[in-house]
């Protein structure tokens, strides 16, 4: 089942169950997806987002909420922190399991071997391939620093 369809089904389930908090988050996700689809329509691109694009939207939303949590903690707004953490919990259910450190290391080694990367100049090739293979299961900033260290 496509991720967007699963999110739509979850919205219906939340509506029937009367779970207002979950419904709010699911509707926010669907609204963000719809906004990107509308923006892409004017650029003559495919209007329907695939699972990778939907994962990118959800990852962005999770990242925004983590930023909000840190700001709310600094401001002493524990009530808002708990709301953001609950939203993060709902959003992360749609994300794939993150790669373990060992899996990430083996993926990086495999991609470096596959591309024949020998120096930092080849980092773009390596990162592009890792990004497609990891697909939302790894923090690309962390991966970038590991790849840079290995190629240096």
- End of a domain among 50, 69, 92? 92
What pLDDT was estimated at residue 38?
87
pLDDT of residue 46: 63
Range of the domain at 64: 3-92
81 and 34 belong to one structural domain: yes
Does residue 49 contact residue 33 with C-beta atoms inside 8 Å? yes
The reply to whether 123 and 87 lie within a common domain is no
**63 shares its domain with 135:** no
Q: Is 97 helix (H, G, I), strand (E, B) or coil?
A: coil
Q: Are residues 12 and 74 in the same domain?
A: yes
Q: Clarify whether residues 122 and 87 are in a common domain.
A: no
Report pLDDT for 99: 82
Work out how many domains the chain is built from and give that number.
2
SS3 19: coil
Q: Do residue 50 and residue 116 come from a single domain?
A: no
79 and 107 within one domain: no
Q: Tell whether 10 and 63 lie within a shared domain.
A: yes
pLDDT at position 89: 94
Which residues in the chain land under pLDDT 70?
1, 43-46
C-alpha span between 79 and 15 (Å, rounded):
25
Question: Whole-angstrom Cα distance, residue 74 to residue 123?
Answer: 36
Question: How much is the pLDDT for 44?
Answer: 65
Alpha helices in 93-122 (DSSP H): 101-115
Q: Which residues contact 90 (CB under 8 A, 6 or more apart)?
A: 21, 22, 25, 26
77 & 119 share domain? no
Same domain, 85 and 105: no
Q: What local confidence, expressed as pLDDT, does residue 130 receive? A: 86
For position 45, what pLDDT does the model report? 62
Q: Are residues 51 and 107 in the same domain?
A: no
Predicted confidence at residue 83, as pLDDT, reads: 94
Give the CATH number for residue 117: 1.10.10.410
Give pTM, 2 decimals.
Answer: 0.75
Residue 30 is part of a domain; what is its CATH number?
Answer: 1.10.1510.10
């Amino acid at each position: 089942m496509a991720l967007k369809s699963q999110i739509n089904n979850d919205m219906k389930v939340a509506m029937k169950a009367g779970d207002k908090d979950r419904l709010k988050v699911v509707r926010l996700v669907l609204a963000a997806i719809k906004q990107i689809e509308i923006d892409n329509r004017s650029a003559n691109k495919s209007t329907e987002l695939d699972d990778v694009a939907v994962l990118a939207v959800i990852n962005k939303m999770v990242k925004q909420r983590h930023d909000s949590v840190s700001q709310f903690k600094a401001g002493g707004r524990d009530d808002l922190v708990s709301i953001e953490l609950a939203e993060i919990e709902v959003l992360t259910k749609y994300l794939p399991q993150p790669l373990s450190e060992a899996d990430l290391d083996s993926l990086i080694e495999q991609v470096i071997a596959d591309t024949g990367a020998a120096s930092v100049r080849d980092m773009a090739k390596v990162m592009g391939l890792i990004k497609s293979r990891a697909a939302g299961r790894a923090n690309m900033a962390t991966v970038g620093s590991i790849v840079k260290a290995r190629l240096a």
